[in-house]
């Protein structure tokens, strides 16, 4: 193998690692966004104040917008544990309109 082939292999391995990390980040974002929206909904339902509630909602929305704009190679990458049909459905437990 020459040095160009080694560089291609190394770049491919780095890309695979980056994709693994992105999948983990996507799953974490989805879980945290859903959990925070549930907490905000629960607090509103029970007349509880959450400090910086609007900032939290804006941050969740911004993070979800950024995640939606990032390219994915297939729907399977966005939701690896679901089928392609299921992966187009959002997994947010509390609708955004219920927390505002």
> DSSP labels for 34-64?
HHHHHHHHHHHHTT---TTHHHHHHHHHHHH
Q: Is residue 12 part of a domain?
A: no
Q: Is residue 90 part of a domain?
A: yes
Q: Is residue 29 part of a domain?
A: yes
Q: Is residue 15 part of a domain?
A: no
Tally Cβ neighbours within 10 Å of residue 60: 20
Condensed to tens digits (0 to 9), the pLDDT of residues 19-63 reads 999 899 999 999 999 999 999 999 999 999 999 999 999 999 999
Q: Is residue 14 part of a domain?
A: no
Question: C-alpha 76: how far from its chain's center?
Answer: 13
Structural domain for 82, as ranges: 20-98
Measured CA to CA, the distance from residue 35 to residue 27 in angstroms comes to 12
Q: Is residue 4 part of a domain?
A: no
Answering whether pTM is above 0.95, one says no
Tally Cβ neighbours within 10 Å of residue 78: 20
What total of structural domains would you count in the chain?
1
Radius of gyration of the chain (CA): 18
Higher pLDDT, 45 or 81: 45
Q: Is residue 8 part of a domain?
A: no
């Amino acid at each position: 193998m020459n040095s160009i082939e080694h560089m291609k292999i190394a770049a491919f391995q780095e890309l695979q690692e980056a994709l693994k990390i992105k999948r983990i980040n996507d799953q974490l974002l989805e879980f945290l966004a859903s959990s925070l929206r549930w907490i905000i909904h629960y607090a509103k339902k029970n007349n509880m104040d959450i400090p910086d509630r609007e900032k939290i909602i804006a941050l969740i929305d911004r993070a979800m917008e950024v995640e939606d704009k990032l390219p994915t190679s297939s729907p399977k990458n966005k939701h690896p544990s679901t089928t392609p049909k299921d992966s187009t459905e959002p997994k947010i437990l509390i609708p955004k309109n219920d927390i505002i």
